[in-house]
Amino acid sequence: MTLSLRLVIQQAQHYCGRPSEVLVAAGHGRSYGESSQVLVRELPGIIASGLWSQLDAGNARPTYALLTDIGNDILYGFMPHQILQWIAWCVEQLQKHSVHIVMTNLPIASIESLPEWRYQLFRNLFYPSCQLSRSEAVERARAVHRGLIELAARKQCVLCEQHPEWMSADGIHYAYGKRQELYHHICAYFSVMRDQLGLAEDKQLFPQIWLQRPQFAYKKVWGKEKRCPQPSGLLTDKTVVFLY
């Protein structure tokens, strides 16, 4: 999501309209529930981010949400029931504002087919503190996958299953060259929601360029707190981006 944010916004606006006010909680290896650190940068859990207070402060308008990258917390050692509780909390907060939600499920086919040597390689590279064996990680991924299906049905959210051909060699991250295709597929679910609201679709895919790249509202670097006023990002159509 961090590398593809501009593309995701562009694809979503094709179905949801523009210009937009975009609230983002992203970051490499981001946890939904706890602070997470990648190299020297630390971010709070998504549920503790400033996104939710900003959402509460906004005016009522058609709003769409994409919940994705849910599997990071498995390799941080959290149990499936805890991860699903965090996702359910996010859904409940969004539904307070009548938000139209699309979730992506875990790419379970890619995860199950990952050979032992490749699992060990990428686990040690991306999650060096993780001690889960491949079989333990796969079993927890299956439990989260099943739980998201049940959660989506219970909360009446759209759940998008991941295609194995979208995935890179590590089985969990998107292949760079597939990003346009996969985000077009995922964001197309917003089209149905927009039709239900009786709003017109923006038929032209508008190319977006950063006039100002967003910066995190709060993060720690080398243990030192850094803050940035929001919104901090600006695109060519005057879309503003809040990054938490």
List, for residues 233-244, the tens digit of each pLDDT value: 999 999 999 999
218 residue type, one letter: Y
**Residue 134 CB partners (closer than 8 Å, separation 6+):** 114, 116, 119, 120
- DSSP-derived pairing of the beta strands 21-24 and 36-38: unpaired
In a domain, 1, yes or no: no
CATH number at residue 95: 3.40.50
Q: What is the pLDDT of residue 151?
A: 98
> Does residue 22 register a pLDDT over 60?
yes
Q: What is the pLDDT of residue 207?
A: 76
> Does residue 55 register a pLDDT over 90?
yes
> Does residue 204 register a pLDDT over 70?
no
Whether 231 contacts 214, CB under 8 Å: yes
Q: What is the pLDDT of residue 205?
A: 63
Q: What are the backbone angles phi and psi of residue 155, rounded to the nearest 5°? A: -95, 0
Output the pTM of the full model.
Answer: 0.91
Alpha carbons 126 and 119: distance in angstroms, whole number: 11
> Does residue 197 register a pLDDT over 60?
no
Q: What is the band of 208 on the pLDDT scale with cuts at 50, 70, 90?
A: confident
> Does residue 194 register a pLDDT over 70?
no
> Does residue 218 register a pLDDT over 90?
yes
The two most distant CA atoms of the chain are separated, in Å, by: 51
18 lies in which domain range?
8-243
Q: What is the band of 202 on the pLDDT scale with cuts at 50, 70, 90?
A: low
Q: What is the pLDDT of residue 67?
A: 96
Alpha carbons 2 and 50: distance in angstroms, whole number: 17
Which has the closest alpha carbon to 151: 224, 53, 80, 225?
A: 80
> Does residue 78 register a pLDDT over 70?
yes
Whether 25 contacts 46, CB under 8 Å: yes
In a domain, 3, yes or no: no
> Does residue 196 register a pLDDT over 80?
no
Mapping DSSP to helix (H, G, I), strand (E, B) and coil, where does residue 64 land?
Answer: strand
Mean pLDDT of 39-62: 93
* Per-residue tokens: 178: 């597939």
Whether 10 contacts 206, CB under 8 Å: yes
Helix axes 189-196, 5-16, angle to 10 degrees: 30
Q: What is the pLDDT of residue 59?
A: 83
> Does residue 5 register a pLDDT over 60?
yes
Alpha carbons 162 and 174: distance in angstroms, whole number: 10
- DSSP-derived pairing of the beta strands 158-160 and 240-243: unpaired
Which has the closest alpha carbon to 30: 235, 233, 240, 219?
A: 219
In a domain, 2, yes or no: no
Stated length of the chain = 244
| Total of domains in the chain | 1
In a domain, 151, yes or no: yes
Q: Which residue has the tokens 């995922």?
A: 186
Q: What is the pLDDT of residue 1?
A: 83
